[in-house]
Amino acid sequence: MKKPEIPNNEKQRLKTLKSLEVLDTKFEERFDRITRMAKRMFDVPIALVSLIDENRQWFKSCVGLTVRETAREISFCGHAIHGEEVFVITNALEDTRFADNPLVLDDPNIRFYAGCPLIINGHTLGTLCIIDSTPRPFDQNDIEALKDLALTVELELSAVQLATLDDLTGIANRRGFMALAQNSLNLSIRNNFPVTLVYLDLDGFKEINDNFGHAVGDSVLVDFANLLKNTFRGTDIIARLGGDEFVVSLSATSKQQAIKALEMFNITVFLYNQEHKHDYKLSFSSGIVEYDTKKHSSIEALLAAADKLMYTAKSGL
């Protein structure tokens, strides 16, 4: 077994990693969404967001494993961080660097590994990797798809530094949404998946602020964001664009499927109103648009189309 070498810029690399303040934090849906998508896309049992510190590889997200870390000296990701390209092992038993590795000989019995380096501020901090217990090929299209997913992880890791999260609700803000949704759209186009956007605007929000105060208004926004998170899938991108406007990007989802999801959300909001008995009722107007290559040149164009439909629906109230 060959142990991973230490990068020449190790001191600066570790400084960048620790500056993110992400090590030993709890699981987060924004990362788990990506590993679940990787697992499904590549049909593998294990997908990880792995970060390499001094002595270990620590998993910010892990699907298919029950541990949160393993020793750096036996890690595949420790090798992957030495380059900028996807590091692929199609059959670990036939590779002298890994054939007698404990992770190959024992659980999880790694045979196939592909890890895309995660680069923040010029330093490789870890990988988005996928693992299988069966040898398998990995072609250029697979490599490009894994790169697209890894870019989303990089955006999420940079979220605090780039101010891409909404301070009040904790979900993505407009800036964060535009970056994440555009990358998701690119990934969906590459894999020929449908993408549908749902634009939502709270009804009567100004009146709630005027009649009950801004503290109540803020509470309404937080509750609405939580209802969105609890109703839509973990793979969907949810954001507050500003004020009382929200958006959900649903990957691998047709317009008809999105309509059904929105119907479920309507039920969720109805149950919320029934349970809380506020002096106001939570309600919203919406617009739904499925991505069409002939009509929408970018995520901005898709968002504008959904906004227009939402405004038309709101005008009819």
pLDDT of 217 strictly over 90: yes
Write the pLDDT tens digit of every residue in 85-142: 999 999 999 999 999 999 999 999 999 999 999 999 899 999 999 999 999 999 999 9
Q: How far apart are the first and last CA of the chain?
A: 68
CA distance 227 to 236: 13
- Among 8, 18, 303, 4, CA closest to 157: 18
Whether residue 309 contacts residue 198, with contact meaning beta carbons closer than 8 Å, is answered with: no
CATH homologous superfamily of 10-153 equals: GAF domain (3.30.450.40)
Which tokens go with 263? 């119907």
List the chain domain ranges.
Answer: 10-153, 174-315
Please state the rounded mean pLDDT for residues 167-182: 89
Between vectors from CA 52 to CA 146 and to CA 150, what angle results, nearest 5°?
Answer: 15
- Token pair of 81, please? 């961080």
Question: Is pLDDT of 158 > 90?
Answer: no
Residue 190 has pLDDT above 90, yes or no: no
Instruction: State the average pLDDT for the chain.
Output: 93
**Across 223-239, average pLDDT:** 92
Mean pLDDT, residues 181-189: 84
Helix (H) or strand (E) holding 37: helix 29-42
Residues with catalytic function: 244
Write down the CATH number for the domain with range 174-315: 3.30.70.270
Residue 20 pLDDT:
86
| More confidently predicted of 193 and 257 | 257
Say what percent of the chain tops pLDDT 70. Answer: 99
